[in-house]
Structure 1
Amino acid sequence: MERLDKRVAGNLTRFYVVALCVVALLTISGLFLIRRTIRNLNHDSRVVNVAGRQRMLSQRLTKLAILKVNNIEHHDSVRFGALLALWKDSHEDLLSKKLPVDRGFVTWKSPPLDTMFHQLTPVFDRIYNNLSIIGSDTSGQGGRERALAEVLASEPDFLSRMNSIVFQFDKESFERLENLERIEWILDLMTILVLVAEGLLIFRPVVNTTRRVVRMLTESEDALQLSNQKLKESNNQLVETQKELLRLEEEKYELQLTEDRVRAGALIEGQEEERKRFALELHDGIGQMLTGLKLHAEKLKAVQFHDEKHQKRFDQLVVLIQDIIQTTRQISFNLMPSVLSDFGLASALKLLCQQAADLSGVKVVFEGETGERIQMSRPMEIGLYRIAQEALNNAVKHANADEIKIKLEQNKNHVVLEIADDGKGFLISNLKSEEGQFLTRNGMENIRTRTQLLHGEMQIISKVDSGTRLVVQVDL
């Protein structure tokens, strides 16, 4: 079957390429001849127009010469000298067989026309010389009258010869058309012969080969159906195997997710413990030492310094110590706020909003009940606080918002934390990967991980120039 396909394809391809090449060659040849003849005919019409114009110009010049010699007033606005120069230039162009048209030259080759133009030249020169005498201001009246007589005597001969030239141009154009018609008939006949040969040598073998191939396909149909039946049974077994592999992969993936959650939970728990320890060290250790240093420095204020510069530097030192104490307290609060363990999540979030507003200059509002503490586990309190802290930092740094709102409420056995701003917003599609997972951008991965560890649900709602809203819901 394969050898038959190759043999048939090779033979048909060769015949078909040859037939197409011949048809294309004949078609291109016909188009070339037609375009060339049309261009020549167009040039012939230009030459005939110029020749006809020469007749008109000679008659007009004769009329103007008569009016000029007899001093008769007329309304012809053209200048006699310019008209005479145009007549002479056109005759020289026709005589030299180069007629300027547009950007090129029209040329022709015809011995009869060359002979006729050379015979016309003496008559033209005689008329031109006498017209030049008439147009000259230095010629006398008698000379002009004799020149006019010569012009009137030569004009019929000039017009007769120009008529013969025009008729000769028309005759040669008609002969070229007849020649083109004969060539077109020959090309059409050759094209028909090529098409007939193509039908006999190409399409007929294609029909025979197709009939033979269809018969072979029909004979092999039963064998193909049997093979398909066996293949179907094999496919069923393969599908069952694939389902089993898919189930195993899903179990493996779930196990890996569980391990990742446990590992992330342990890591976050270790971080929180380390933050708590470090916050206590800052507050109880370095904070107390700085407070003592501040007390000693304030006691030294009573000492009078002899140098005013020393007094100024000492005052700056006291202010610097106070700034260090305040910064240390702020770092300790960010690491692990004591108000979170003493008064609960609502109070800690309210204090967080106040501090963020003071530091950033952005209006930060907290909505929630701070009087009654929501009963939840300590890991849940810390997780929700870190989520609010991360979201608030993102809003302050990236949202360009005028107002940020943090809302905490308890709905039956759910806790809902919402952080909303009126900033520039963003496209959610730019925040997700192809698999739909949130990318590590602006702390969103940390928020998503903490939400998963709390077995909660996270939702982000944002549009460009319409703000952003983050909602986290956790079961108590």
Structure 2
Amino acid sequence: MSELLNDNTKNDQAIPFRFTRLYITLFSILAVLLTGSQILTQWRLRTVQDELWIIRYEALQRHQSQQIVKQALQLTDGNDPKHFRQNLAELRQIFQTFELYHTEGRAGRVKDHNVIIPNSKPVQRLYNGIAPEFMAFQRSISKLLSMQQPADASLPDYQASLQLLLDNEKPFLEEIDAIVRQHTSELRNQLARLEEIEFYIYLTSIAVLLGIGLLIFKPATRRLKQTIAQLVEAEQKASIANKQLLNLNKSLSETRQQLFEATRLQHQQEMDEQKLRTSYLMAGQEDERKRLSRELHDGLGQMLTALKLQIEGLEAGLKRASADSETAGLAAYSKNIANLKKLVTQTIQETRTISNNLMPTVLSDFGIVPAIKMLAENDRSDELDVTFESNLAAGDARLDKNIEIMLYRITQEAVSNAVRHASPSHIHIELIEREKYIHLIVTDNGRGFNPISQRKAVPRPAKNGRAPSQGLHNMQERANLLDGKLRIDSVPGKGTRIQISIPYQMQSVHYDAN
């Protein structure tokens, strides 16, 4: 066939025609073989399934015969008269099924599943051989089923029927087993023949496939090599052009990536510089607050305290003079001095409060937990309940100095915003260390607000000269300096929840209070 193809290479129409005709012929043979094999296999499998039903009914006769003997013994047992009617009904039902299965097995059919397979001669001979035992079963059971009451079991006729049943039980079991074995052996022989036929069909299919390979694909492969060579040559030229385009594209991608990286680095540098400037600014603010706090405490506070002591001394002298002279003028002076003393006391207290807000000494001396706890106690009043909880014990390792200051300032800002704008009756502060994060959560039950509209709104000065959203902006800036995240959850009329999460791993930190 390959020679014919080679001889007709000049005829562009003869080669496809011969190739197609041979291809269709060989594949038609293969299709016929495979289809015939499938039809034969399916037919034999259905036959095997039908014969399995026959074998199953034959095997069930063995079990049913044992049940019949058992039920007959229970029926003739005089010790169980209460279940006589029940045993009689069960024996009748089992024997009817037994007769049906035996009759259908002898005829080679199963009516329930529409199966009809004539028995082979060996199987039929075995069924003829078991006929006496089956007839003995019929006579015995028919006699036992005629019993009217439990006392009939002791009569000689019924005892003889029972003995006849027992005498034929074992021969019946042995012969029904022989029938099952014979039927199974015949089924195995049929399967073996089916496997042999399948094997020959398989060999023929392999031969056809080899013919397809030798007579069709081998000549076709030779013809295709020339076309493939031309395609390879064209592909090489296209590959060279493609490589050039890829190099150009790679250069463009590298240039674009470099521009992107330069832009990103510039933006990151600007962000870092902005963060550094903000950090320096806030550090300067904290230093200035510390200086003002120290001056208020050490300078003005001490002078006011000395003034108070002088007024107390003058008040004591006037009281003694008033007691000696009992003049009304001295009493009036004493009253004015008492008012002056009260005013000086309030001034000293206010100075201490301002000094503590600027830089609380408890923060620098004992840490963030006692500082926030004192902040909550100072802001607590009859109209406002401020609570605080933390899983950081006061004796635990101190946090970094900058983190403690930032957390304290954010807490101050959050509480101040809630008191100033939300009018809450309860504020709850939480400071939690979990999964290498420090979480500060401030929750109030005030009037709440819309966080989205608050961020979009243009800041306008409030009555106190401060924009409403300036506090949120300050908290966001402080959180950014610590690489933290600020989350605000608020619904008008349902309160506000502010959470700041800062990445931090607890460790021993040396803190300089100066």
Shorter-normalised TM-score: what interval?
0.3 to 0.5
The TM-score with structure 1 as length reference comes to 0.47
